[in-house]
Amino acid sequence: MTGETGDDVGASSKGHGRRPSCAEARFPLVADAAAHYESFYLKACAPGGGLGVWLRYTVLKPPGAAAAGSLWCTLFEATSGGPVAVRQTFQGPLAEPEGGYIQIGGSRFTPREAVGDAEAGGRSASWRIGLDHGAAPLAHLPRGWLYRAPLPRTKLCSPQPAVRATGQVTAGGRTVELDGWPGMVGHNWGTQHAERWVWLHGTFATRDAEDWLDVAVARVRLGRVLTPWLASGALCLDGARHPLGGPGRWRATSIAESLEGCRFELPGRRVRVRGRVQATRSDLVGWVYEDPAGGSHDVANSSIATMELTVERPGMPLLALTCTGGAAYELGMRA
């Protein structure tokens, strides 16, 4: 079942102590002849919305070639002229630091902190952010063996689907202080990106707790066949996780996507989530994600989108949730 138990969540096999295996970096064990990409990422937003940061530490390894590491930083601010985005690629050393995640040159990302700096195209960014441990890991794939199988070609999990981020980010000459911002840490890897995908994440302040949604929805190419939208992830309400999507629920999964947002319907066991996410064009950043064996995807991302949900559960009243200016919306496509 998708939730805390996918991907054999438990002891690490690499001697770093007990931590979820879905958080382990895969790139140190990739064969020289193999293709591989991998990403660890942090999204965090100010509680009032309209201000957010999105960091990525990535690895790209073409078949038979050495791996390169890239640092990505985007600072979103709704009241400015648009996001400030910096990406720098390094041919230097890549490593898995003590405690987990990834180190690219002198920049590191661990379960406790993200520290780094990047410079490209006349723009620069630096960050030093401390992370609490937050919620237990979320394994998106419904069975642990899927993380070891050749398919799907993209594996996805959230080692920390809900964290608090505290520290400082400087980008484009603008310095922002993070004071316990709600956020998440994600991890994906594989040999090829999905043909088309949508990623959704939102944190909702409700009563004395914070609920959250973390879902990826993808269409995958299998030869000449393009699958329907397949969803994976969960909605957390009052600390209880409700898995969403899965291969057996594709007929009831609905995505109507555009560059600036989408409407979605996500079924689960005894739960159904309907909603929409919207981002103004000025609050989007565009990137190119390369596939390790060739080709690329265009990607639009906003970490300060607005998300509205309606949650249906048998025998319970409808629940409405809203995340204003603090949700993540990402659309990946070959276009």
Per-residue confidence band for 242, with pLDDT thresholds at 50, 70 and 90: very high
Per-residue confidence band for 223, with pLDDT thresholds at 50, 70 and 90: confident
d(CA 265, CA 287): 27
> What's the pLDDT score for residue 12?
39
Nearest CA to 192 out of 74, 70, 36 is that of 36
> What's the pLDDT score for residue 14?
43
DSSP reduced 3-state for 29 = helix
| Residue 122 CB burial class (10 angstroms; 0-12, 13-18, ≥19) | exposed
| Residue 129 CB burial class (10 angstroms; 0-12, 13-18, ≥19) | buried
d(CA 152, CA 8): 17
What is the pLDDT averaged over residues 276-288?
96
- Report pLDDT digits (tens) over 284-330: 999 999 999 899 999 999 999 999 999 999 999 999 999 999 999 99
Nearest CA to 155 out of 114, 193, 191, 188 is that of 188
Per-residue confidence band for 146, with pLDDT thresholds at 50, 70 and 90: confident
What tokens were used for 161? 């689907």
- Report pLDDT digits (tens) over 169-190: 999 899 999 999 999 999 999 9
The full set of domain ranges for the chain reads 6-333
End-to-end CA gap in the chain: 34
pLDDT surpassing 90 at residue 145:
no
Length of the chain measured in residues: 335
